[in-house]
Amino acid sequence: MTSKIILDTDPGIDDAMAILFAEAHPDIDLVGITTVFGNATIENGTRNALWLKQKYGMRADVAMGAAAPLVREPVGPTTVVHGPSGLGDVAAGEVTLAPDPRPAWQYLVETVQANPGEITLVTIGPLTNLALALAHAPEIVTQVKQVVVMGGAFGVNGHRGNVTPYAEANIHDDPEAADRVFTAPWPLVIIGLDVTQQSFFSGAYLDALRDEAGEPGRFLWDVSRFYLRFYSERIGLDGCHVHDPSAIAYVIDPTLFTLREGPVRVVTDGPAIGHTLQKFDDRRHPHDGWAGCPAQRVGVAVRDQALLALYRDTLVAWGKGSD
Ligand code: RIB
Ligand code: CA
């Protein structure tokens, strides 16, 4: 069955990997792309999204979103990981398309309301746009099909954080927004570092994509060079983790992941700002900030080889026709 999705993104190298994956898979109908600050400034990220839409002839709308977090001081674009413009060594060419005139939060609300029960919101950047959509139209919690979030780290499989010892980048960028989104009563799945750092696109895997997946494979190889240099220099890895494409993989095949249920909260200040915590037992406490919050589902295990095969097969099938 085809899933209609809106992809909320901060493009971003692994965001580009996820955007092409969503566009390529026949079970995904990529209705819209909403942009948010994060890996790049909102201007650069939106330009990257429009350029990808233009380059690959995508029918998805592109709507520009938030330039800064709700409450915290902005931490600034992650140029060290994603390069000065967000796409590593690749410079987006001239863009002739314009974004949708609506701000992302309004695009999200109106598109969900025009398709009740049908839209899956997939987020692969800070959660600011979703928090703004909730603030303007809280009723969307009953109108979306589900929300799938790439973000957070719960200490499962030893993964606790990538921008601080206890925070993942998307949540650290706007912890207040994340706490509002995680405590809203909508069906929500979190695909965090606990699972995304369990899967690797190795150098050899990306070389094979370059050779077998036509023009998109060569583009993914080009765009990943900067990212792989970061991973090699900072972490000593020949390859990169599979962050943003994992959220798309969940929509295509949820059986790739094992999930754990329980309410989730986010630390919104102090040294642990951006830390995500799930309460997953029934113990009672005299003080409990999780009580009364809806149970959400958090990814705790992934069939990584099957996920890698799904990504490769999808891109190869799509890219073949491009040569
Ligand atoms: O922590 C990984 C996440 O942060 C990914 O979404 C990546 O693109 C960055 O936004
Ligand atoms: Ca991202």
pLDDT tens per residue across span 291-315: 999 999 999 999 999 999 999 999 9
Please report the pLDDT score of residue 281 as a whole number. 94
Mutate to test the pocket of ligand 1, among 7, 8, 15 (most ligand atoms within 8 A of CB): 15
Residue range 140-146: mean pLDDT, rounded: 98
Query: Cβ(170) to ligand 1 under 6 A?
Result: yes
DSSP E strands, the chain: 3-9, 28-35, 61-63, 119-123, 146-150, 188-191, 200-202, 239-241, 257-262, 264-266, 276-278, 296-302
Q: Is the CB of 38 under 6 A from ligand 1?
A: yes
Break the chain into its structural domains and give their ranges.
Answer: 3-320
Q: How far does residue 124's CA lie from ligand 2's centre (Å)? A: 4
Instruction: Say what the pLDDT of residue 101 is.
Output: 98
Closest ligand to Cα 150: 1
Span 3-320 CATH architecture: Alpha-Beta Complex (3.90)
What's the CA-to-centroid distance between 256 and ligand 2, angstroms?
20
Predicted confidence (pLDDT) at residue 223 exceeds the cutoff of 80: yes
The pLDDT of residue 264 is 98
Residue 60 has pLDDT above 90, yes or no: yes
174 within ligand 1 shell (Cβ under 6 A): no
| Interval 165-204: pLDDT, tens | 999 999 999 999 999 999 999 999 999 999 999 999 999 9
Short-list 318, 306, 319, 310, CA closest to 211: 319
On the question of pLDDT at 136 being above 80, the answer is yes
pLDDT score recorded for residue 323 = 77
Tokens representing residue 308 in the block: 């890698």
Give the pLDDT score at 322. 80
Please answer whether residues 179 and 268 qualify as being in contact, where contact means their C-beta atoms are separated by less than 8 angstroms: yes
Distance 125 CA to ligand 1 centre (A): 6
pLDDT band at 238 (very low <50, low <70, confident <90, very high): very high
